[in-house]
Amino acid sequence: MRILVTGGAGYIGAHACVVLAERGHDVVIVDNFSNSSPAVLPRLAALMGRVPAHADVDLRDAAGMAGLFRTHDFDAVVHFAALKAVGESCEKPLEYFENNIGGTLGLLRAMKSAGVRNLVFSSSATVYGAPDTVPVREDAALRVTNPYGRTKLVVEQLLGDVCASDPGFHVANLRYFNPVGAHPSGTIGEDPGGVPNNLMPYICQVAVGLRARLSIFGGDYPTTDGTGVRDYIHVVDLARAHADALDFLQREERCETFNLGTGRGISVIELVKAFERASGRRVPFEIVSRRPGDVAEVYADPALANRLLGWRAELDVDAMCRDAWRWQSMNPMGYAGRAAA
């Protein structure tokens, strides 16, 4: 298939491009590089066997998107492009709604005009908010707690309406839990730019000496060691699920929503210890007060993806830490010095 990957220069999108190329698909990237660097492209070329076609276009640019769909005959779209920082979304809700919902509308208009009707969408476990029980199934209550999460839920709902209006339009909503790690080559990985919001990139920057110590947000949660529990999933496992979802859409011709996680919860301290083992570095930490909006424990029930996509996570926490560390130690400042801040 010829696949358009929106946000393909970003963290998860780049890993998905590699997997899609490995499965024999033709990949075209559209990315405005608002949260990524063109320096990823030659590295992708080395992993994919050739320079991926790419367009520096914002999804909200109607003429640019129409031109892209005229130039290429796409069979399907994998839609990663979005802004993703929870804290920033609380400060700049208009930007998040404009970019994430406006961008999706721009994409859907271009798809509609070109008659492209298969879409894989990057959603998030954030749509569950604080779940009543774990593991979380796809039919759990949806209760978003921040503007970023609301953009994900609104887009899922919008896609549901598009599917209802057009029986030939098929969508797989993929709700990611906590993506971490990097390609085993160490040449592509997560490059947050500035102070990382998320745990694994923060640990990596402490281990490599960019930051003095990790602050652990809360040591008094009702969990095994008092720290927050999440379902960390290796980005390469996550990337594979996108190729499986495209196969599902082609085979089953319907819309579905899937959790993507390992099904196993890991505490902050467990992740720190696993990282220390994998890297041979110490990660000094201090326990500070809870981060507002955080929940104690969230992990997935990935049974639906196991059953319908034939997908399951294969890489364990040691592989996640080993590959995150390889990327960080080979690229201490990220792709182009983005980590310096």
Q: Is 71 helix (H, G, I), strand (E, B) or coil?
A: helix
316 binds ligand UFG (CB under 6 A): no
**Binds 13, which of ligand UFG, ligand NAD, none (CB < 5 to 8 A, cut-off by type)?**
ligand NAD
In the complex with ligand UFG, the residue whose CB is nearer, 199 or 305, is: 199
DSSP state of 312: -
Helix boundaries (H) for the chain: 11-22, 40-48, 62-71, 86-91, 93-96, 103-114, 147-165, 199-207, 235-252, 268-279, 303-304, 317-330
Q: Is 73 helix (H, G, I), strand (E, B) or coil?
A: coil
Q: Would you put residue 281 in left (φ > 0), alpha (ψ -120 to 50) or beta?
A: beta
In the numeric block, which tokens belong to residue 79? Answer: 């839609």
Q: Which member of 5, 17, 81, 199 binds ligand UFG (CB under 6 A)?
A: 199
**Binds 217, which of ligand UFG, ligand NAD, none (CB < 5 to 8 A, cut-off by type)?**
ligand UFG
Q: How far is the CB of 306 from ligand NAD (least distance, A)?
A: 19
Q: Which member of 80, 128, 327, 335 binds ligand NAD (CB under 6 A)?
A: 80
The residue whose two tokens read 């730019």 is 193
In the complex with ligand UFG, the residue whose CB is nearer, 65 or 317, is: 317
Q: Which member of 3, 4, 5, 11 binds ligand NAD (CB under 6 A)?
A: 11
Q: Which member of 34, 71, 113, 215 binds ligand UFG (CB under 6 A)?
A: 215
Helix boundaries (H) for 191-234: 199-207
d(CA 125, CA 119): 19
DSSP state of 53: E
291 binds ligand UFG (CB under 6 A): yes
Residues 75-134 that bind ligand UFG (CB under 6 A): 84, 86, 124-126
In the numeric block, which tokens belong to residue 15? Answer: 């890993």
Q: Which member of 36, 104, 262, 331 binds ligand NAD (CB under 6 A)?
A: 36
Where along the sequence are the contacts to ligand UFG (CB under 6 A)? 84, 86, 124-126, 176-178, 197-199, 202, 214-217, 228, 230, 268, 291, 294
